[in-house]
Structure 1
C-alpha cells in the first residue's frame, strides 16, 4: 500500500521515468537489476524501487495464477479502503499501474517468478553451531575427563504459508566436508548450465537477489 500511495502522489516526471526504465528493462532481465535501475531515478528511493517491483510482480503473478483481468485488479486497488486515496488521485494511480504492468520486463519476470515459486519451502538462513560437551566419570563432582565437539547445521526456511521453520541436523567433520564439496559442485554445475543457455540464445531471468 505505501508504494501504491507513492505512485499516486508522485510527479509526472518521476512516473514517466519509471515507465521509461521498465520499458527498457528487457535487456537486463533480472529483478535486482530492475530495482537498481529504478532507484537511480531522482525521486525514487531504493525502498520504493524494491517495493514497486515486488508489488508489480505480485500483481502480475496473481493475474496469471487466478486468470483475473487487469482492469478488475486495478479497480479494486483504487477503491481499497486501506489505500484511502482522494478521488482525484485514483485514475492517475490506475493508469500508471496499468502501463507498468504491461511492460515486457514485468510480465516476463513475473512469469519466471511464478515458475520459480512452485516449491514447497524456501531457504532463508544457515548456520553451523559448534558446541563442546564434557565427558564426566562416575563421580560428577570431579573435573571432566574429556570433551566431545559437536556441530549442528541449522537451516531456517519459509514454508508455503510464508512461516519460518527451523531444521537442526547433527554433523561431524566428514559431513561438513561433504556439504562443502556438494556446494562447490552445485555452483560449478550452475555456471555450466548458464553458459549453455547463453550459447543457445536463451536468456536467464534472475528472480532473486544477487
Structure 2
C-alpha cells in the first residue's frame, strides 16, 4: 500500500473530523485514488478502533496484537514486515479523532439489544368450511408482520417474530412510523441549530461500504 503513510499523515492532521464513516472513506479515497484499497483501509481502521473501544485496551496493544497474529499466520514475510514498519503510523491513526469519532458513532448507532434487519407482511388466506368440512363457506384474509432482527448473542444469525395484524393495526403502525420519521428529522434539525455539530439519524448514514 504505497500511499498508506501519506494517507496516515493527512488523516492524523485533519482539524475538524467527521463522525460519519462514509466521510472518512471519501477522505481516504481522495488521498489514495483507489476505491478498493480505500474501502479496505477504512473498514479495517474502523474495526480496529471499535475493537479497542469495546475491549478497553490501548492502541498499542491492538496493533501489537495484530502484528503478533500476522507473525503466526501463514502469510508472506513481507506482509509481517510491512505491518512492523507501519506500527507507529497505525497506532497514531487509532489515536486520532478522524478514526476514533466515526468508529464511536458507528458503534453507538448499533449498540442496542435488538437491531431490526428486515421485515415483510404476509397475506394469509384461511378458508372457513362447514361442519362436515366438505364445502368452503367463505374465507378470512389476515396479515402477518414478520420481523427479522439481530441480537447481541445471535452471532449474525437473524431471529424472527411474527405478529398478526388487522386493518386498524396496519393504519396505526403506518401512522406511528410516519410520526417517528417526523420526530427524528425535527430532533436532527433542532440539535444541529443549537449545537452546530454534525448530526445524523441512524439509518441515513450508509457507512460507505455498500
Query: TM-score interval w.r.t. the shorter chain?
Result: 0.7 to 0.9
Matched, 1:203 2:193: no
Match of 1:5 in 2: none
Q: Distance in 1 between matches of 2:202 and 2:100?
A: 12
Matched, 1:129 2:148: no
Match of 2:185 in 1: 191
- Which of 146, 157, 171 is matched with 1:154 structurally? 146
Match of 1:164 in 2: 158
Q: Distance in 1 between matches of 2:168 and 2:88?
A: 59
Contact 2:128 2:139 in 1 (8 A): yes
Q: Distance in 2 between matches of 1:35 and 1:153?
A: 36
Deviation, structure 1 residue 93: 4.4
Contact 1:70 1:98 in 2 (8 A): yes
Contact 1:30 1:207 in 2 (8 A): no
Deviation, structure 1 residue 42: 2.7
Matched, 1:181 2:175: yes
- Structure 1 gap segments, 5+ residues each: 1-9
Contact 1:197 1:203 in 2 (8 A): no
Q: Distance in 2 between matches of 1:74 and 1:39?
A: 23
| Post-superposition CA distance 1:108-142 (Å, at most 9, x none) | 12222333343211111011111211111123233
Match of 1:3 in 2: none
Contact 1:125 1:156 in 2 (8 A): yes
Q: Distance in 1 between matches of 2:111 and 2:173?
A: 25
With the length of structure 1 as denominator, give the TM-score of the two structures: 0.79
Deviation, structure 1 residue 104: 1.6
Q: Distance in 1 between matches of 2:68 and 2:178?
A: 51
With the length of structure 2 as denominator, give the TM-score of the two structures: 0.79
Q: Distance in 1 between matches of 2:116 and 2:102?
A: 20
SS at match of 2:33: coil
